[in-house]
Amino acid sequence: MHVHTDSPALAISEAALGTRDQVVVRLLTPDHPERHAAHDDAAVDRAAVAGDVPLGEGPASEPLGVVACTGSAELAAAHASAGAVVVVRCDGEEIGVRHLERALTDAGSRHVVVLPGDAATADVARSAALTLASAGVRVDVLDAFDELRVLVGLLALHEGPEDAAGRIAAGAAALGRLRTSAVGQPDAAALDAALDELVAGCGGPPESLTVLLREAVDDGLRAEIEAAAARRRLELTVAVAGSGDGLPGAWLGVD
């Protein structure tokens, strides 16, 4: 199944007629920059491989491809809009080697960085890289082992230097600096207290605040979050993951 849509989460939901396998979301450019493609169980149609070289070192002239893995259909469009090929876990199924081989192919580059979403998928990504190493495409796997870290890593990659090595270094550095706090039932007081603790524990003044919400909040709480970030002079990013197992009401990360 291959779908062109402005609402990947809706397309993924409507496809729940059985087990959903090989769900990939990517932004189509330049002909339809506002639209996304979601496809299910498509075959790998060109080589995607990786070599064993130091982190960030790959073909000098090759643009960096990005693959992000998530259990949130709601986050898929945002991740794709940031330039990633997005593999969506559905129906409790783990992401396998063939899923990542397809995503690496769709990235369209000989140098790809993977944000795996959990440690098991990171191992699968490394296996996929080794399996396809003969064609000389470099695959780096960043330590983004949960939904918040995938989001933060994508933001750092998107805003980093133009060269691939610099972007990967920026992503790895942001993840290394990141301090996080989970708030089960978010309200203004609980979020403000968690943010105070995070900022106090940083080695130096943080520059950014990323808030991953399980569900959308009302305008009043959204304004409180914006005000809390402004008081601390933090650049704010807010995203909604949608309900899911293991997700707190709000997940804060400062960098």
Q: pLDDT by residue for the chain (255 residues), tens digit each?
A: 555 556 665 555 555 544 555 566 666 654 434 344 454 433 222 222 233 334 444 444 568 999 999 988 889 888 988 889 999 887 667 888 888 988 888 888 999 999 999 999 999 999 988 877 777 888 999 999 999 999 999 999 988 888 999 999 999 999 999 999 999 999 999 999 999 999 999 888 999 999 999 999 999 999 999 999 999 999 999 999 986 667 899 999 999
C-alpha dihedral over 141, 143, 146, 149, to 10 degrees? -100
Q: How distant, in Å, are the alpha carbons of 92, 120, 238 from that of 201?
A: 35, 29, 21
Across 109-234, the runs of DSSP E, i.e. the strands, are 111-115, 138-141, 179-183, 208-213
Of 64, 78, 69, 253, the C-alpha closest to 170 is 64
The Cα 183–Cα 160 span in angstroms is 29
Alpha-carbon dihedral sign for residues 130, 98, 37, 249:
negative
The pTM score is: 0.81
61: left (phi over 0), alpha (psi -120 to 50) or beta: alpha
